[in-house]
Amino acid sequence: MAENTPEPHEHEHDHEHDHGHHHELWPEGFWVQPPRLGKGLEGHGAVDDFNKDRKPGPIYVNRRAEGGFSGIQTFAKLPVCLTPEDLVAGEMDVAICGVPWDSTAGGRSGTNHGPLAIRMCDYVGGYGFPHSHLDVRVDALADLNVCDYGDSPIKVGNTPATFEGIRKFVGTIVESDAIPIIMGGDHAITWPCATAVADHYGYGKVGIVHFDAHADTGDDMHGSLASHGTPMRKLIESGAVPGKNFVQVGLRGYWPDQELLNWMDTQQMRTHFMAEIIHDGFDKVLDRAIDEALDGADRLYLSLDIDVTDPGYAPGTGTPVAGGLTSIDVLTAVRRLAAEVGIVAMDVVEVSPPYDNQGQITVLLANRAIREALTGIAMRRRGLITPRYADPRSLWTEPGTEPPAN
């Protein structure tokens, strides 16, 4: 090698063994990508000059007990935290935030409007109102300190910088000992979001239960290495989340092909197709997924792609696939995983309001899924972790008899 010739980058691909990427069409180095995102939280973007001299703590921007359609719209009328110091001072248990990004979507666009729509669809309100879940008689907003953390900074047209910013932004929540619940955005954001969680708890220590019509394990998608069809592969290849700690539920349709399914098998991913759900019933399959989620990983990240739901229940998404789960399937699964297994983070992605119907059924489902996660977190803290728990007062009993013990 010539004296001044630079050494090859340690992460460069062996181009002779890459197939299907059409390297001759792209500049040298185009397909070179480091196996992981960056490190550290410096420059996280969760604080600016407006907040540098303010006393830390949650900001109450609504009057007590304002309804969902009045006042300033935060998620569930929750107080706002704008800095990591606010999270710490408020002793926040959960921070709900948005990632309004859809530049890596390969289908219909519009998921960048998801966080705003999920907040605005709320007619219930929440903070300041009694908010006891009728199935389990737990009021999550009374039991937990929860805030709206606003949205991650987005650099339009700059995927690498945006994803690194998302990783740092979510990282500030995790480092503050709060549970992030993230509103997407397309599914590519799970790569930086779950990386932030793995940065905190340790690579190989976090498992993911992934509800989706699609595997999202592609090597590239329409020529993009970072897309909503590739985040799970990125997490596995980086080492952030081992393949054996991935549990996928709801896959259907015509992708991935057998070659990619074989790759998933070599990674020891656990996949539950809709065919299994139709054959055995959703309750049995969810029980299996919960058992698998408890096998190996120390912490659980829950990723909910709204298109796991049949488009009859959730039309407002970029890549709808008929024949999916019902709304009650999804809501039950989220609450059970949060209560029975416990979660350290969750994202709800692929909500595309421009394709929702006038009744906003997709954003209402996404909003309710977040509320179910909050309820499950509160249930777990109360010790209500019995499989399929329901409060006896919410179950039918023979007149004149005692309610059944759960």
Structure tokens at 197: 């969680």
Q: For residue 126, what pLDDT is reported?
A: 67
pLDDT of the chain, 406 residues: tens digit per residue: 444 444 444 444 444 444 444 445 444 444 455 566 777 787 777 766 777 778 999 998 888 777 777 788 999 999 999 999 999 999 999 999 999 999 777 778 899 999 999 999 988 776 667 789 999 999 999 999 999 999 999 998 888 889 999 999 999 999 999 999 999 989 999 999 999 999 999 999 999 999 999 988 877 555 555 665 678 999 999 999 999 999 999 999 998 899 999 999 999 999 999 999 999 999 999 999 999 988 878 999 999 999 999 999 999 999 999 999 999 999 999 999 999 999 999 999 999 999 999 999 999 999 999 999 999 999 999 999 999 999 999 998 878 777 666 6
d(C-alpha 81, C-alpha 95), whole Å: 8
Domains of the chain: 75-392 (3.40.800.10)
Q: Shortest CA distance to 98 belongs to which of 140, 153, 167?
A: 153
d(C-alpha 254, C-alpha 244), whole Å: 24
Return the SS3 of 341: helix
Confirm if 179 and 95 have CB atoms less than 8 A apart: yes
Angle between helices 190-201 and 159-175 (to 10 degrees): 40
DSSP letters spanning 77-144: GPPB--SHHHHHHTT-SEEEEEE---TT-SSS--GGGHHHHHHHT--S--TTS--EETTTTEEHHHHS
Q: For residue 221, what pLDDT is reported?
A: 59
Q: For residue 128, what pLDDT is reported?
A: 67
Q: For residue 103, what pLDDT is reported?
A: 78
Q: For residue 40, what pLDDT is reported?
A: 79
Q: For residue 222, what pLDDT is reported?
A: 57
Q: For residue 25, what pLDDT is reported?
A: 46
Q: For residue 228, what pLDDT is reported?
A: 58
64: left (phi over 0), alpha (psi -120 to 50) or beta: beta
